[in-house]
Amino acid sequence: MTATQDAPTTAATSRRTTAGRDGRRTAPYFFLAPAIVLFVVFLALPIAYAVYLSFRTEQVSGLGLGSGARTQVWTGFTNYAQALTDPEFLASVGRVALYGVIVVPTMLGLALIFALMLDSRRSRARGFSRISIFLPYAVPAVISSLLWGFIYLPDVSPFYYVFDRLGWDVPSLFSSNLVIFAVANIAVWGGVGFNMVVIYTSLKSIPTELYEAARLDGCSETRIAWRIKIPIVTPSIIMTFVFSMIATLQVFAEPTTLKPLSNTISSTWTPLMKVYRDAFIRGDLYSAAATSVIIAVATFALSFGFLHLVQSRAFGQEK
């Protein structure tokens, strides 16, 4: 009788245990479900649709009026070939490359210098300094571009007024030779703070015992920074370099905002500006999709190629 009563109890306990295990296995997916849905709806599906459009074009029959006059047809890699041979696209790539050469080293160099200065034991007012350096990053790119744009305009800029009173003939930063430095200055002004915080956070994680040992050996603050701090925070510098490179390839807000203020910035000044013009001004979604896919592939290849190169060198040095 007892054995008969214990059997249902054991079976019920086993079922509860199995249900509990199943619940623990499915719980992570339940919490991940919102993020997965958002990723699929707002990122994966748009990317897939852009790739789909990049292989198609619109065929117009007759005057293009009436139902069935405009149809999508498969074109293969024609849109990609046209994008890669487009002089405007190639010129925009060259400008972005020069822009990156100016922006990335300057921005990361200043971020590293500011981080080392804040981490120095001789620094004062660290809280105020951190906020002052980081504050430009909190300003939206459109707002900062407008602010700097009016500073660049000789007719309204207080700086050009002072230069004129002093008798200095200072060329306009909106000239064809200097406009790229004008755009780069906005990116540097806004990006130094973020990169500084990343590097400074990495510096604060270094054990202070290393500094004390180095000082006992007679190392100066400059030598400690060069021999201890910079090598240890190199991974953070690499990470900020990758982020800065991706942002450089996708520069759009600054030149687009400055474009109404200057005739030297065209509608295809950067690759993303060309994508915007083709898609929303010319209405050629298919060419714009192909160009955007090219930009995405180039960004992916450069980012992961750089990381692979760094990891290969680090692995070779360890051997």
The per-residue pLDDT for range 205-237, each reduced to its tens digit, is 888 888 888 888 888 888 888 888 999 999 899
Domain-embedded: residue 236: yes
pLDDT value, residue 20: 57
> How far is the CA of 239 from the CAs of 92, 178, 185, in angstroms?
26, 30, 22
Domain-embedded: residue 32: no
pTM: 0.84
Domain-embedded: residue 270: yes
For residue 60, list its beta bridge partners.
70
Using left for φ > 0, alpha for ψ between -120 and 50, and beta otherwise, residue 263 falls in alpha
Give the residue numbers spanning the domain of 184: 86-283
Domain at 174, CATH number: 1.10.3720.10
pLDDT value, residue 303: 87
pLDDT value, residue 28: 79
pLDDT value, residue 23: 59
Residue whose token pair is 């240890």: 232
Please state the domain count of the chain: 1
Domain-embedded: residue 71: no
Reading the block at residue 110, the tokens are 């200043």
d(Cα 244, Cα 238) in Å, to the nearest integer?
10
Domain-embedded: residue 156: yes
Residue whose token pair is 């649709």: 49
Domain-embedded: residue 200: yes
pLDDT value, residue 267: 92
pLDDT value, residue 1: 45
Phi, psi for residue 73 in degrees, rounded to 5: -130, 155
Domain-embedded: residue 62: no
Runs of H (alpha helix) within the chain:
2-39, 45-54, 78-84, 87-119, 126-138, 141-152, 158-166, 179-204, 208-216, 221-224, 230-232, 234-249, 253-258, 271-276, 285-318
Name the stretches of the chain with pLDDT < 50: 1-3
pLDDT value, residue 10: 62
Domain-embedded: residue 251: yes
d(Cα 99, Cα 84) in Å, to the nearest integer?
20
Contact 221, 122 (CB under 8 A): yes
pLDDT value, residue 309: 80
